[in-house]
Chain A
Amino acid sequence: MITCDEFFAEFGDCLENQVSPEIRQELELHLSQCRACQVLCDSSRKTVKIVTESSSFELPQSVSDPIIERVMARLRTDRS
């Protein structure tokens, strides 16, 4: 069975769903027997899910509109 270090080395790709089936099998085998890596895997997946679903850093239209309008006004003035 692979070690925790070997698991960790592949884990980044695993989070991106980019490991080959063979490696995935190894990772799953390790996970089935290592509580610490189970916690790492579970909480990392939840982190990615929380972040992707958080709708963070939306610039509200009420803020973006005046910026765009200022830029467009400036471009129109420059042209004339």
Chain B
Amino acid sequence: MSFLREVQLEKEFGPSVVFREALGFLPNLIRAQSLLPRVIEAQAKLEDAVRLRAGALSRAQKERILLTIAADRRDTYCVGMHSRVLSSLGATPVQIDDLLNEYRGAELSAPDLATLQFCLKLSRNAPAVQWEDIEALRVSGLKDQAIFEIVVVTALAIYLCTLSAGLRPELDFQARELPWPRAASPARTSRASSSADIHRGSEWKGPYLPAPYLSPHTFAPFAILQGTHGFMPNFFRSQTLRPDLLKAELEAVNSILFPEDALSRVQKECILLAVSATNLNSYCVAVHCNLLRGLGISPEEGDQIAVDHHESALSNADKALLDFAVKLGAHLTDFSNEDVVGLRALGFTEEQILECVVVTALNNFANTLQMGLGIEPDFGPPAVYQQNKVHLSGGALTPMQREGVVHLVDTLRDADAELVAQAQGGKLEAFEDLVRRHTQLVYRTLLAILGNPADAQDAMQDTLLSAFKHISGFQGRAKFSTWLVSIARNTALQRLRSRKNVESLDEGKYEEDEDFRPRQVRAWQDNPEQCFSKSEMRQLVETGILALPPKFRVVVMLRDIELLSADEVARQLGLSVPAVKTRLFRGRLMLREWLSPHFTTSTKGATQ
């Protein structure tokens, strides 16, 4: 029996079928979570995308990573499970023994050896992973998608080991004795005591891998994220090398974190915050502090939980829940049945304890991904923060440093670079690929300035011809998309000049003085989007946006329709960030005025 009560899973339960078919058996690790079938479904989705589905790495390569990490963490259960799977994939007992004893002695190719070396570093001491480690993988011959998968499989290995430590399922197979000691045991981390611990300082050079642009209009999970978060977290934006995997991951995250049938959202966010802080993961600390704020927890309380939850205003039971999660999340090997018994004594149900284990495992998955991919912070530190507080970690860099890094990073990660080089060499197909990637961006920029779809379509042809004519002069100092938008902007402005009474898009001297005050003061309905069909809604928005003065329209379209960040809009339009923000705010307020009559409480469903 595992630590927690189990119930019989139905034979036809979808995830059980998936595991039986893919692995040849139903792991006891799955049975140990039978009290909450939704978390098993989440795990099945994640494993299907990360471990089972074809990608850049072979099944055997992935199982080798899983096994090596499990052995390094002395997880007898996972070692048994992965050894069996690896053997079913054709590995000989000698090859498996080599991995368990000392992978460097195993007969593996240079990229495979480099892979295992990297995975162990990421598993043992994730904050130490740097750009150079990713470069070493590239030098060994691995492509970016393979490197991406290596990071995600390592994260999955840690997810499984955390589950196994927290649930202690019965062994699926008699495990072989693990050699002792290993070359090095996993590094132990302790709660951050200073900013130096948690920050990676100015040498940080993430994100390490390119992330092709995915539009929320074609990739539905991004539209949902934008709705739930109000912005697109870099955490997800940085994983677009495998959209299928990203989609599965988002579904898994949603079904673990959103239902409140066991723990509450706040309890789960507190777990994520406390364990991320222990793992010295400044990115995740900032994200969860922010999400807790949205759930009604004060910023000070969030900071206190990150620094030391014992001093927070949480109930004693919730503090014990966090003790449990932190011990499991960061000190796997010390964890025991005593810890589970302790939570039961405080009144936690089996389902709640199970969910705490799963959320902790998910946290370790996310922390590993963030560190392995070098995902950059979503928020800069507000100026009022002092640099030596842990909660500031959202901005590992000061705003000025960050701005410099963002520019550097933008050019380093330009996913178009290879195609641009080919197009500059005269390869027309490469140019066509580039154009197709950015069609919507170019069209929206033209439309935003010209205010008329027919003119925008007309100007598109001129823009593309002009882009090809000048592409040899593009030196890669900005992203290709930024450069392309500047060509579109110039083309549109040239056309505008031939019209009469043109309003300039340039920053005016009186930018700040142009006052605009909201006039509509009637309350809106609770769910305005339900008043109209999707196409009616789109029509309404399009009409409203096209009615905006050009300088507001262009900013609103790039920020709220194309979903670029304010910094990016500023770069693309050659404006200052404050000017972009002012115009965005005014444009949004004007749109609100336009939409108000359709959505106020007394005009339900009325169309004009």
Binding site for B on A (CB under 8 A): 11-13, 15-22, 24-25, 36, 38-40, 42-44, 46-59, 63-64, 67-68, 70-72, 74-76, 79
Residues of A within 8 A of B566 (CB): 16
A20 and B383 form a contact (CB under 8 A): yes
User: Which residues of A lie under 8 Å from residue B541 when comparing CB positions?
Assistant: 50-51, 54, 56
Query: Quick one: which of B298, B464, B520 has the most chain A CB within 10 A?
Result: B464
Residues of A within 8 A of B290 (CB): 17
Determine the distance from Cα of A59 to Cα of B599 in the docked complex, in whole angstroms: 27
User: Considering the chains assembled together, what is the distance between the CA atoms of A11 and B595 in angstroms?
Assistant: 19
Q: Known interface pairs A20-B385, A52-B227. Does A71 touch B440 (Cβ–Cβ under 8 Å)?
A: no
Q: How far is the CA of A67 from the CA of B537 in the complex (A)?
A: 28
CB distance from A24 to the nearest CB of B (A): 7
Q: List 19 A-B contacts (CB under 8 A).
A: A16-B584, A20-B382, A20-B383, A20-B385, A21-B299, A38-B523, A39-B522, A42-B524, A43-B523, A47-B588, A48-B230, A52-B227, A54-B538, A54-B541, A57-B542, A59-B457, A64-B439, A68-B435, A71-B461
Bound: A46/B530 CA distance, A: 12
Partner of B561, one of A15, A56, A71, A72: A56
Which among B230, B465, B518, B595 is the interface contact of A74 at CB below 8 angstroms?
A: B465
For residues 443 through 498 of chain B, which have their beta carbon under 8 Å from a beta carbon of chain A?
443-444, 447, 457, 460-461, 464-465, 468
Residue numbers in B under 8 Å from A20 (CB-CB): 382-385
A48 B522 Cβ-Cβ under 8 A:
no
| Contact A17/B230 with A43-B599, A44-B589, A71-B465 known, Cβ cut-off 8 Å | yes
B557 at the interface (CB under 8 A from A): yes
The answer to whether B591 touches A47, judged by C-beta atoms less than 8 angstroms apart, is yes
A56:B432 contact, CB within 8 angstroms: no
Q: Which residue of A lies closest to B589 (CB)?
A: A44
Q: Are B529 and A68 in contact (CB under 8 A)?
A: no
Interface residues of B in 569-595 (CB under 8 A from A): 581-582, 584-585, 588-589, 591-592, 595
> How far does the alpha carbon of A19 sit from the alpha carbon of B557 in the complex, in Å?
23
Q: What band does the interface of chain B fall in when counting residues whose beta carbon is under 8 Å from A? A: 35 or more
Nearest chain B residue, comparing its CB with the CB of A64: B439
Contact B435 A12 (CB under 8 A): no
Q: A55-B217, A63-B457 are in contact. Are A46 and B560 (CB under 8 A)?
A: no
List A contacts of B457 (CB < 8 A). Answer: 59, 63, 67
The contact string, 1 if C-beta is below 8 Å from chain A, for chain B 529-568, is: 1000010011001100100000000001100110100100
A residues less than 8 Å from B447 (CB atoms): 57
CA distance A74 to B467 in the complex (A): 13
Residues of A within 8 A of B584 (CB): 12, 16
B447 to A, closest residue via Cβ? A57
How far is it, in angstroms, between the C-alpha of A49 and the C-alpha of B563 when the chains are bound? 12
Residues of A within 8 A of B518 (CB): 40
Q: Which of B280-316 contact A (CB under 8 A)?
A: 290, 293, 298-300
Q: A12-B582, A58-B217, A72-B428 are in contact. Are A64 and B599 (CB under 8 A)?
A: no
A50 to B440, CA, bound (A): 19
